[in-house]
Structure 1
Amino acid sequence: MTLTSPDAGTQRLCRSWLLTARREDLAHFRRLASLSMREWRQPPHVTEVVLHGVTELLSNVARHVADPRCTLELCHLGEAVLVTVHDRSSALPKITLPDWTAEEGRGLWLLREMADDLGYALTEDGKQVWVRVGSAASEPV
């Protein structure tokens, strides 16, 4: 799907999937995201963060949301790639300094450190959580 953004006529390429978040399906959605990154000619460092975002956001729905039906959306916005997950829970994520000895609880913190932006907002039927990864900058050294 190709959409034209109202701001400056920028092309916006998007992929969207309605799904039930289950840990056993994460590899499938990582592959779909990887194919999109290849099609959109994104560099390896962008692809790495996008795939981490897909994994983390869908894992959190599978782990923390009673109704794991959600929407995964990837959009290429010209100078950035946006990963967004819409789910049916109004419980907002908590991003705290992780306990490095714990077996879980550091995914969103790491993702926030890797990405250019991470945010969330309540919607009428739950919330959306997103990660934005800039694609215009050169690869980190």
Structure 2
Amino acid sequence: MTLTSPHAAADGLVHRWPLTARREDLARFRRLAALAMREWGQPADVTEVVLHGVTELLSNVARHVPDPRCTLELTLSGATVEVAVLDRSPEPPRITLPEWTAEEGRGLWLLREMADGLGHERTPEGKRVWVRVAGERFAPS
């Protein structure tokens, strides 16, 4: 696992972690995301959706992508926090109406309902899946 410091991007601040998506490591990346949200002064409701995004997007890579090497990115741009996972599969994520009694299959649907935006785009290596959450503007101390 590689940890990176926040750095300024062209349009905001970014934390980026190259990793191998494994279910047993999700708590570690949720903690790192929570620290970034605290650093950026985000309220609890924004942090909750961001952490759900981290869990869901990394879980989907661990479950559905043959090569689980990926990159987790958190970006603060203006008043918006974006969680993105870049993986090595060109297959787009599938959002379906959940079967409420099933053990799984509700995550992306719930995330889409909670967030201010959810989408994906192809990359030369695979795809980038993102979720955006409107937050408070970062005010450096």
Give me the TM-score of the superposition, normalised by structure 1: 0.91
Match of 1:34 in 2: 34
CA contact (8 A) 2:84 2:131 kept: yes
Q: Report the 3-state secondary structure (helix = DSSP H, G, I; strand = E; otherwise coil) of the residue aligned with 2:57.
A: helix
Match of 1:47 in 2: 47
For 1:12-23, what aligned pairs fall within 5 Å after superposition?
12-23=12-23
Displacement of 1:3 in angstroms is: 2.2
Amino acid at match of 2:126: G
Amino acid at match of 2:9: L
Cα distance in 1, alignment partners of residues 78 and 89 from structure 2: 30
Displacement of 1:37 in angstroms is: 0.2
Displacement of 1:79 in angstroms is: 1.1
Cα distance in 2, alignment partners of residues 106 and 3 from structure 1: 33
Amino acid at match of 2:47: T
Which consecutive unaligned segments of at least 5 residues does structure 1 have? 6-11
Match of 2:9 in 1: 3
The answer to whether residue 141 in structure 2 is matched with residue 135 in structure 1 is no
How many residues of Structure 1 are paired with residues of Structure 2 in the alignment? 131
Cα distance in 2, alignment partners of residues 53 and 71 from structure 1: 14
The Cα RMSD (Å) is 1.1
Moved over 6 A (4+): none
Match of 1:93 in 2: 93
Amino acid at match of 1:18: P
Amino acid at match of 1:44: A
The answer to whether residue 109 in structure 2 is matched with residue 109 in structure 1 is yes
Cα distance in 2, alignment partners of residues 71 and 136 from structure 1: 25
Displacement of 1:4 in angstroms is: 3.6
Cα distance in 2, alignment partners of residues 4 and 22 from structure 1: 31
Q: Report the 3-state secondary structure (helix = DSSP H, G, I; strand = E; otherwise coil) of the residue aligned with 1:102.
A: coil
